Every structure is written in structure tokens, then in C-alpha cells.
Chains A and B, each alone.
Chain A
Amino acid sequence: MTQTLTPTQSSSAGAEPQKTPWWEFFTFSVDHKVIGIQYLVTSFMFYLIGGALASAVRVELATPDSDLVDPAFYNSLFTMHGTVMIFLWIVPAVTGGFGNYLVPLMIGARDMAFPRLNAIAFWLTIPAGLLLMGSFFVGPASTGWTAYPPLSILTDEHVGQAIWILSILLVGTSSILAAVNFIVTIWSMRMKGMDLFSMPLFCWAMMATSVLALLATPVLAGAMVLLGFDLLIGTNFFNPTGGGDPVVYQHLFWFYSHPAVYVMILPVFGIISEVIPPHSRKPIFGYKAIAYSSMMICALGLFVWAHHMFTSGTPDWLRVFFMVATLLVAVPTGIKVFSWVATLWGGKLRLDSPLLFAMGFISTFLIGGLSGVMLGSAPVDIHVHDTYFVVAHFHYVLFGGSVFGIYAGLYHWFPKMTGRMLNEFWGKIHFVLTFIGMHLTFGPMHILGLQGMPRRVAQYDPQFAPINMICTVGALILAFSTVPFVINAVYSWFKGEQAPDNPWNALTLEWTTSSPPIPHNWVGDPVLATGPYDYGEEYKEDRQEAIAAS
């Protein structure tokens, strides 16, 4: 970010905020802002469901015996937990929710490129979620969110497994539609004067995410269709008794599902890049490096899938290639982390909830990233593969990373979305509980895995009981930590303090319109007043002039 844009007035100052009537959230609305909120609220509901399933799993694991639920149902619990959290919470929240709400606002567009396609993408996730939840009445899938054959073909829960496949196909389709929409929107609908390198970093992240989703998701769909054939009509793509190969499924599955991690985390990287500068009052450090690193993660992310298969009997040369590719992902990720830290350095940190969650994100994601490097090394991975070490690692990435990032984004953009401020005191309580709960739940799991506890077991060696008890207590704190947030969000949405158009004095384009924004976002044409991150004493005067001029 070297160019400086001449500050001029923002064209929507003084526009009347738009209050969307509640029923519009239940319609086939084509407004990207309504769809964004639809995604966010729906996915948060699924987060609560997924969290309830996780709590049941942790309570079961409080003791070494399988005494709360029978082991078969236990398998269903963690299968559904994983599926719900990935496909119905994080992916829809970060791409569908934040992406839809923010991308058009950030690039000065009136809406997404294909508004109807956008609505269809959202409304596909509803039957997917309902089907998945409905499968509890017929016996839910119990073969893990990976659904490895032959187990998923020979499973007793045929109907549940078939529903699971259909549900994944629906959310996969939704994801592909959304990805096409984002790429076209970002590529062709940027306002006049905004080139690629003057758009906010969240848009870069969404671009990288969409490219990745578009390339990888169809492969998952293919794997699901073939698995469905094996399960329902007796083909033998993956069934070894008929000549099929279960390892081929693993290649297809991970070709999507490792990039899916980046689909979940890249938009969160974008959110963090948007939250840190206004709350620390400094320009983002290394704009171009962060933008390029998103694209680098996107490119490298497509060539790391086999690191999930170091123990599956993959050939050696393949393991070496994938080990090097996996370890290399640490470089662009490290660039981002260092850049965020450098942005904070020397700033005037306003330690409100958005920045607390953003800093919580950096500190916990760092641990997930470092354990990721350990797992990237093939020999290290072989010992801890399919153990609680891996469970700890991906929860540090996907909870400490994605969920903390989502919370940072929610606290940051809640005033824009609703026109009301969230209560800061309860925000801080929420942060502290989440932070403690998260480390207590997932931290000790590293030790469990290294010491020899495999994942996906309802019964375990009693020597692991004390550490498991700590994890369970942590999980209950984590479950409880959502209470202050839910109450705060619901109460503030209706009764919270009125939010000004730009409560954080932020410089990205969405803050130049009213809170909440009017239909089609701006009264006239939006005008770029400053670059997205032109904070700092040197720019302050220019900004004040711009405000005075408006």
C-alpha cells in the first residue's frame, strides 16, 4: 500500500439508516446484506447445535468407560459434530456471512454480481442442515466427518450415511455457487478508482478462498457421488471386496478437505487484517505481503492433501513431496502473523472486544500453526496421526483461529449490520471465558495424543482420565462462554446503544454509509476518501480535512 488516495467526501453521509423488517430475513431476499445476515444467524444456530454435540462428546469422555452413550452413538455424535461445525458453521459463516455482507460494501458495489444465485446458495444450506439434523431420527452417520470407506459402505446406518452424503452435496453446491459469485464480483464490480492493490485485504482473502473452493469442491462432490453409488447401488469404486480402492477415496476427499481448512481460515485472516488497523490506529503492515501470501496459501494449499495420508500406505516419494509442500505453507502464514504483530507494534491499542478477539486469534492460531509444522514433518506425523494431538492441532486452528476470528468480526461489524453497539462489558466477559475455556479444552489434548490416546474412541486407557477430565471441564466453560454473547447480541440488536455510522473511525468503504446501510448501499456513487488503511498521525490531518469537507 504505497499509493495515497486524495481524501474527498463520502457520498452517503446523512443517509437514513435502513432497518430491515424481521420477516425479510425469512424470505428469498436478493440483498447481499440480508443474505449475509441470514448466513450468519443460521450458521450460528448450527454452531450452538455443533457445540451441544461436542459437549455430549466431552461429557462422555470425562470417564474412561463408555457410560453416557453407547459407543455406536458416540461415533455418531462426533461425526455430526465435525460435519456441522465445518460445513454448516465455519464455511457458511466466514464466506457466506462475512463475505456476502462485506465484499460489495468494501469494493463500492451495489450488490453481488449474481444476487439470485446468491440467494439460492444460501437457501441450499437450509435443507442440508435440516436433513442432517433429521438423520438423528433414523440413525445418523457414524463414520467420522471423513467417512472413509469401507466402513462408510459397510455401516449399519445406511440411511443416515446416505443423508449425510446428500447433505454434503448440497452444501458443496452452495459453496461452488458462492465461489463463482465472489470471483466475478471482486474481479468486475470494483468501483472506479479501486485497483486490486487498493481494495481491502478481506477482499483479497475472499478471492483466494473462492478460487480454492471452486477448484477443490467439485472433487469432493465427485467423491461423494461415487461413495453414494457404492453405498446405495453396490458399485465398487472404493470397496476392496469388489476390486475398489479405499485409498483413492482418501485422495479425493483430502484434495478438497485440506484446502477446506484454508477456505475456513483465509477469510478469517482477512477479518483480522480489517480489525487490527482501526483498533490499533496504524496502517496494516505489509499490505502487499499479506495479499500475496493469501494467494500463495491458495496455490500451495492445493498440493498438501496427502499429508493426511502419511500412514495410509502412500508411496515414499509422495510423502516427501507433500511433506515439503506442507512445511512451506508455514512461510506465507508466518508472513501474515508477523505483519499483524508489526501492525500492533507502536500502535494505540483500543483493547475493546474486536481487538481482544483478534489478538486472542493471533496467540492461539500461532499454537495451531506451530503444531501444524510439527505435523507437516512426516516422521513426527506418523506417531501422532489420528490421535488427540491432531484433535488439539485442528481445534487450535479452527477454534482458536476461525471462531476467534469470527467473534472479532462480529464485534467489529455488529454496529454496521444492526445499527446498535454490542455491550463492551459482556464482550470482555465473553472473551475471557472463551479464551480460558479454549486453552483448558484443547491445550491438554496435545499431551494426550503424544502419550498414546487415539482419537474417535469412546473408551480409553484409565491413565488418561485426569487429563480428559480437565478437557471436559474446559469444554463446559467453553459451552457456557456462548451464553453472555448470545444474550448480549440478542439484547443489543433490539435495545443496544445506537451506533453511529463509523463507531471505530475506520477507513474501509463500508463505514462511509449509514449503519445499517441503505438498500443498494449508497445514495449516490460511493467515493474513495482514503486508502483502506491510511491510519497514523501523518494521515490524520488529511482525514480531518476530508471530514470537514463532507
Chain B
Amino acid sequence: MKVNNKLISIVVIIGLIIAASIWYGRNNGLLPVAAGDEATLYDGLFNTILAIAAGFFLIVEGVLLYSIIKFRKRKGDEADGPAIHENLTLEIAWTAIPTVIVMWVAIYSFDVYTAMQGTQDLSGMAHGGMHNAVAHVDHAAHHESGGMHSNSMTSKATLASSNNNGVMMAGVIPSEDSDVVAINVSAMQFAWVFNYSDEIATAELHVPVGKKIRLNMNAVDVLHAFWVPQLRIKQDVIPGRETYLEFTPRVVGEYPVVCAELCGSYHGGMRTTMVIDTPEDYAKWLKEQQEIASNDPEAIVASRPPSQMSEHEYLAGKVAQMGMTSKK
């Protein structure tokens, strides 16, 4: 009878813990809005792993708290506890169960990872595969050695612009797939530059909702990392290599673009905005940019020196005051 009661209590407690964990997994509210298709996939995985973690957390912390209350030494009790060394069944259980769970997490993660890459083949995918070998000084002269044509172009630009003054790289849209909007991204201390074509270079990233976006990224000086928290994707931008990021924006709005890799003194100021536009707004915006470019090609670059590119509401005055070169 006593054993039955114990068993029932254990089953009830474990049931409650599982219920609480599942509830927390679904209602944690820890992530910002999911603005892209990949973010939705991500959130499902995150919430599931969080629920599992919450379950383990509740079990172990619960036992610790229970032990403190139940098993603390009472006054005058100098006795030892029971001499229990091991329990093979228990040990096999708590080795096997976590093994199964982590392997399942690994498979689920791999599944989500593959799905987040969309239809890409494994060699060039969402989270930044690399096609280029390490860039050599003479690499730019040999386009054929770099794989895609655009890679060679951008590598050339990268190498040509090893100063910190924000020399624009040549923007070339790889046009194998017309459904993909390709944008070249150049990262430098402490600004992002987005090239939509040979003419258009902007400090703000605009993308149309519902289209697959491909960012071909290059760094001018040091490592940077492109991150939009609402898209849940991140990729290092590496000098001498080209990295890629693909995503499909889903929710119209303005989101921060953050540099996540320490890139120097004003790393914290290296921010800009990504605008997910409706197709109409996007077309309108693109047209405006083209007009500005055709009126005065020099002005595009000149009107957006790095000091204004990272202009952000809270940093507006600050960045201008700091200047854009690192401390000498």
C-alpha cells in the first residue's frame, strides 16, 4: 500500500513537471518577433529544447530543495546515512534517457538546420558556406580560381579596399535564379554597405517581403558578423572570403542589423536597420535609389559616408562625435 502511494506520488509529480515544462516551452516569450520563415522554424526548435531543459531543471532543483528540507541533519543526530554505493538500474536509466534525448535533439536540430537552408545544396547555404579559398594577393587577377564570377569580383574589391575608409565594392547580382534577390554586403569598421546593383549602394537594408533574399557578404578590414535578431540568423563576415546568408522575410517592419563579432572600438555602434517592405514599397524605394544614383553617381557614396551609415536614433550624435576611425 505504502509503495503504491509512493509510486502514485512520483507519477503525479513527474506528470506535473512535464506539463509545466511543455507550458513554459510554449509560453516563454523569450524571443523577439519572428520576421522570417527561418525564424519560425527556429522558434519551434528553441521552444522544444527549452521545454526539455525546463523539465530537467525542475526535477534536479526540486530534488535539491526537497533534500535540504527533508534530509538536513537534526539537532543531536550524529548518525550516518545508509551506505548505498550504487544502483545499476538507476544508473543505466539516467545514462540511457539523456543519451536518447540528446540524440533526438541532434536529429531534430539537423532537420531544422537543413530546412532553414531551404532548397540550397549543402555547399552554399543559408548560414554561410564558403566557396572561396583563402584570398591571396594575386587572387583577384585570376577570376577562374574563385568559383563564382561575383566572388572574384567582390574579392577583388575587398582586397582593393583594405583601408578603413569605406571604399565601395563592385556590386554584382548573381542571376542564376530570378526568384532570389541577391544583395552584396560589405562590412567595415563600423558600418554596413548594401549594394543592389552596380549603381545602388545604401546604408539601410531594404528587402521585399516573401522573396528569398541572398546576401553575398564581404569584409573590408576585420571580422564582423551580420545578425538580425528577428530573423534568428547570423553569419560572420570574413575578410578575404565571401560568406552567404539566405532568408525569406515574412513580416513587414523595421528591424535592427547588428554586428555581433568584436570589430574594434566602436563595435557597439555598428548598427543599421533592415526594412522589410511590401513588394510595392520595395519597388518604389528601389526606383528612388536608382534616380538618386543616375542623377549623381558620386553622391550615392558621398551622401552616405560611414559616419552616417551607422546612424541610429540613439547613437545619432554619438557616432558623429566619435568619428569613424578607431582610437589612435
Contact of A75 among B86, B262, B328 (CB under 8 A): B262
Q: Are the CB atoms of B102 and A150 closer together than 8 Å? A: no
CB neighbours of B84 from chain A (8 A): 282-283, 285, 342, 346, 536
Contact of B136 among A65, A148, A243, A386 (CB under 8 A): A243
Most chain A CB within a 10 A radius of its CB, from B264, B268, B314, B318: B268
Give B38-56 as 1s and 0s: 1 = Cβ < 8 Å from A's Cβ atoms.
0001100110011001001
Is A234 at the interface (CB under 8 A from chain B)?
A: no
Is B3 at the interface (CB under 8 A from chain A)?
A: no
Is A196 at the interface (CB under 8 A from chain B)?
A: no
Given A323-B106, A349-B71, decide whether A154 and B266 contact each other with a Cβ distance below 8 A: no
Q: Which of A412-420, A444-452, A515-523 contacts B (4 or more CB under 8 A)?
A: A444-452
CB neighbours of B302 from chain A (8 A): none
CB neighbours of B232 from chain A (8 A): 379, 382-383
Give the number of residue pairs across the A-B interface with Cβ within 8 Å. Answer: 309
Q: Are the CB atoms of B71 and A386 closer together than 8 Å? A: no
Would you list which residues of chain A between 293 and 341 have a CB under 8 Å from chain B? Answer: 310-313, 315-317, 319-320, 323-324, 327-328, 330-331, 334-335, 337-339, 341
Q: Are the CB atoms of B125 and A348 closer together than 8 Å? A: no
CB neighbours of B94 from chain A (8 A): 334-335, 338
Is A362 at the interface (CB under 8 A from chain B)?
A: yes
CB neighbours of B314 from chain A (8 A): 64, 459, 461-462
Q: Which residue of A lies closest to B120 (CB)?
A: A316
Complex alpha-carbon distance, A362 and B99, angstroms: 20
CB neighbours of A313 from chain B (8 A): 128-130, 235-236, 238, 241, 243
Is B296 at the interface (CB under 8 A from chain A)?
A: no
CB neighbours of A324 from chain B (8 A): 103, 106
Closest CB-CB distance, B279 to chain A, in whole Å? Answer: 27
CB neighbours of A387 from chain B (8 A): 260
Q: Are the CB atoms of B264 and A151 closer together than 8 Å? A: yes
Count of interface residues, chain A, beta-carbon cutoff 8 Å: 104
Give B48-82 as 1s and 0s: 1 = Cβ < 8 Å from A's Cβ atoms.
01100100110011011001100111000101111
Given A75-B262, A245-B134, A281-B81, decide whether A330 and B102 contact each other with a Cβ distance below 8 A: yes
Q: Are the CB atoms of A378 and B113 closer together than 8 Å? A: yes
CB neighbours of A331 from chain B (8 A): 95, 98-99, 102
Closest CB-CB distance, A257 to chain B, in whole Å? Answer: 15
Q: Are the CB atoms of A371 and B83 closer together than 8 Å? A: no
Q: Which of B12-20, B173-181, B204-212, B222-230 contacts A (4 or more CB under 8 A)?
A: B222-230
Q: Are the CB atoms of B61 and A366 closer together than 8 Å? A: yes
Give A440-469 as 1s and 0s: 1 = Cβ < 8 Å from B's Cβ atoms.
000000110011101011111110000000
Q: Are the CB atoms of A367 and B57 closer together than 8 Å? A: yes
Complex alpha-carbon distance, A316 and B71, angstroms: 49
CB neighbours of B265 from chain A (8 A): 70-72, 75, 142
Q: Are the CB atoms of A150 and B222 closer together than 8 Å? A: yes
CB neighbours of B261 from chain A (8 A): 148, 386
Q: Which of A10-18, A120-128, A197-205, A537-545 contacts B (4 or more CB under 8 A)?
A: A537-545
Complex alpha-carbon distance, A373 and B236, angstroms: 22
Give A92-114 as 1s and 0s: 1 = Cβ < 8 Å from B's Cβ atoms.
00000000000000000000000
Is B200 at the interface (CB under 8 A from chain A)?
A: no
Closest CB-CB distance, B327 to chain A, in whole Å? Answer: 4
Closest CB-CB distance, A343 to chain B, in whole Å? Answer: 9
Most chain B CB within a 10 A radius of its CB, from A240, A245, A281: A240
CB neighbours of A317 from chain B (8 A): 122
Give A518-550 as 1s and 0s: 1 = Cβ < 8 Å from B's Cβ atoms.
000000000000000011111110000000000
CB neighbours of B225 from chain A (8 A): 311, 385-386
Q: Are the CB atoms of B234 and A382 closer together than 8 Å? A: yes
Instruction: Please give the residue numbers on chain A whose beta carbons come within 8 Å of chain B beta carbons, in ascending order.
Output: 1-2, 64-66, 70-72, 75, 142-144, 148, 150-151, 154, 156, 240-247, 280-289, 310-313, 315-317, 319-320, 323-324, 327-328, 330-331, 334-335, 337-339, 341-342, 344-351, 359, 362-363, 366-367, 370-371, 373-374, 376-380, 382-383, 385-387, 446-447, 450-452, 454, 456-462, 534-540
Known contacts A311-B127, A454-B260, A537-B79; 7 additional CB pairs below 8 A are: A240-B135, A280-B81, A330-B98, A335-B94, A342-B87, A383-B232, A459-B314
7 A-B pairs, CB-CB below 8 angstroms?
Answer: A71-B268, A142-B265, A285-B86, A313-B130, A313-B236, A335-B95, A451-B31
